Chain A
């Protein structure tokens, strides 16, 4: 093998092998756990009030209807990105207001949680 051929081989092989090796050095691809789909609310950022997560959209829609019927208008069903459906009142402006909503929900036997709003 001449020097030029060896150089050409190195130009091709070093990056093509080095890139995947460097990428995989940090481990194989990982998926978020279901807990990571419910990020904790942060003071000063919009909050999602989540009334529950469900494996199928129909059950989630039934729950949404119940939540809306007791007065939490604007509550919707959305995919949570982890294979489930969440019944959620989106983009509550602050954690304080979210707590007020949770307290009000408790009076009708609902136990929503506060999460960091999607996209924040």
Chain B
């Protein structure tokens, strides 16, 4: 059973990769297989978001969730991407070269260290029990209900805790159950470990475009050893996958602002679609990313804002069907019970709520030194006039933190505490911490580049 489960998961994740590769081929293409290897992590993450979103939307409109659906959707996405990409004139990639500079050896050490750590985490994921509250109280039960009943059982889905949460996580769990041959909730942890591996691959691959290896790999390793990040890769909950989509989309949007390559925005849109179908916090994170992007690209607003408007419209259209489903079935909404827009309400909670979000952001027991290092990198980037990445990440982390404070303030039932069972603030702020891990090397690389360019200009 478990060998079957592992082989099934391997097949499922190859399907995610293939569908993401098809989309990447359509929107961008790749010149060489070495280049594809660099972007394969991004393709995987995009595959999870796109296929997961399509499965989720089909489930919501009532299509029975069967093994056939699990197989047909990723194969169709992959083939469609390949065929349309071919029509767009993509030519067959060559083998390519991995380069021969000093960065190669640094990259090799980084890959070896990150790979060893991930292998060690696999041992944890391989035989983990279903210990986490949200996982066994509603994420996995929802998945089992879809697996056994083939759809959204109305009574079950409207009475479980977290009934307004969108169902992408249960859907990807069900896909894993089908390919594993049954609802194997132990081997399921390997699927989440694979999401983590895909994210690390995506992050290092995308950042390596703009960040030298000696700056990139220390941050990849720092991210992996942060207490509430690497060690939680195998946990069958929505938080980290949501954060992976958010950070992936944020980097793509920033790089699009910097170089205007449209494929980045297309893939960011797909990741944001996955995000708003993963957790209700996804809506808030999508909104703050949009605001940060609008802010940073304001100088060229005639060109950038319409594109960001299209992104927002697509994400809203994908988010809508689930919200219609739960409203139609009498489930209480995702919005805060306290209204959340009138500052005169619950004024005594205002400062403690924002203070709580700030304390969690800077807590080394959750995120090690990720956040203070990112603040240092931000200051260096500003000092060297690398304004766009500095303002983008500064605004984004600031808005995410304000959003965390707003959640606590606007939901009066939430105690002002870091206790996981009482307040989701620690889970939510993981997005900001992971963003800091991705932002630091980008900011430092921008600062380094500015310094070396000014030295070269001075010398000439």
Contacts and interface: CB of A to CB of B under 8 A. Distances in A.
Nearest to A29: B127
A11 B108 contact: yes
B325 interface: no
B160 interface: no
Nearest to B97: A5
A21 to B, nearest CB: 11
Nearest to A23: B123
A29 B126 contact: yes
A1 to B, nearest CB: 10
A9 B115 CA distance: 13
B107 interface: yes
Contacts of A5: 98, 100, 104
Interface string B77-114: 00000000000000000000010100011011101100
A12 B105 contact: no
Contacts of A16: 112, 115-116, 119
Nearest to A13: B112
B108 A9 contact: yes
A12 B104 contact: no
A32 B7 CA distance: 25
Interface residues of A, number: 15
Given A2-B100, A29-B126, A29-B127, A8 B108 contact: yes
A105 B129 CA distance: 36
Interface in B330-348: none
A83 to B, nearest CB: 11
Interface in A11-30: 11-12, 14-16, 19-20, 23, 29
A15 B104 contact: no
Contact of B104 (A8, A20, A29): A8
A62 B111 CA distance: 56
A57 to B, nearest CB: 16
Contacts of B112: 11-12, 14-16
Nearest to A9: B108
A4 B100 contact: yes
A7 interface: yes
Most chain B CB within a 10 A radius of its CB, from A4, A5, A8, A9: A8
Nearest to B126: A29
A15 B108 contact: no
Contacts of A29: 126-127
B100 A12 contact: no
Nearest to B106: A8
B137 to A, nearest CB: 17
A79 B142 CA distance: 25
A15 B123 contact: no
A19 B123 CA distance: 11
A14 B116 CA distance: 10
Contacts of A4: 100, 104-105
A58 B107 CA distance: 57
A18 to B, nearest CB: 9
B217 to A, nearest CB: 12
B1 to A, nearest CB: 14
A9 B111 CA distance: 10
A12 B115 contact: yes
Contacts of B127: 29
Given A23-B123, A29-B126, A7 B116 contact: no
Nearest to A31: B127
Contacts of A14: 112
A14 B123 CA distance: 19
Contact of A15 (B98, B105, B115): B115
Nearest to B120: A19
Nearest to B122: A20
A5 B108 CA distance: 9
Nearest to B115: A16
A98 B201 CA distance: 56
Contacts of B115: 12, 15-16
Interface string B121-139: 0010011000000000000
Interface in B357-388: none
5 smallest beta-carbon distances between A and B, as pairs: A8-B108, A11-B108, A16-B115, A8-B104, A12-B111
Given A4-B104, A15-B116, 10 more contacts: A4-B100, A7-B105, A7-B108, A11-B105, A12-B115, A15-B115, A16-B112, A19-B120, A23-B123, A29-B127
26 contacts: A4-B100, A5-B100, A5-B104, A7-B105, A7-B108, A8-B98, A8-B104, A8-B107, A9-B108, A11-B105, A11-B108, A11-B109, A12-B112, A12-B115, A14-B112, A15-B112, A15-B115, A15-B116, A16-B112, A16-B116, A19-B119, A19-B120, A20-B119, A23-B123, A29-B126, A29-B127
